[in-house]
Amino acid sequence: MKHFKYILLLSLFIMLVSIAYGQPAGGGPPGGPAGGGPPCWPPPCVPIDGGISFLLAIGAAYGAKKAYQNIKEES
């Protein structure tokens, strides 16, 4: 059970850090000043931050499940 808590805390920390890195610097709107060109090049700009967060959460849950199963087998 001790390892399960460490793995759970580590996965929570990784998810929080990934959310913090996804925020724009300064808290303003992304893309710079208005009137410029497209915010990314080449245009179709596809945001991937939501998908990555979802995959990290699924991976953390799967890892926690496997860790719990390993601990349960040892007992």
In this prediction the pTM is 0.41
pLDDT at residue 62 greater than cutoff 90 = yes
pLDDT, one tens digit per residue, over 3-38 is 888 888 888 888 877 776 666 555 555 555 555 566
pLDDT of residue 43: 65
- Mean pLDDT for the chain overall: 76
- Please check whether residue 11 is in contact with residue 74, taking contact to mean a CB–CB distance below 8 angstroms: no
pLDDT of 9: 85
**Residues 6+ positions from 32 with CB-CB distance below 8 Å:** 39
| Res 44 pLDDT > 60 | yes
Q: What six digits make up the tokens of 53? A: 């967060």
The gap between the terminal CA atoms of the chain, to the nearest Å, is 10
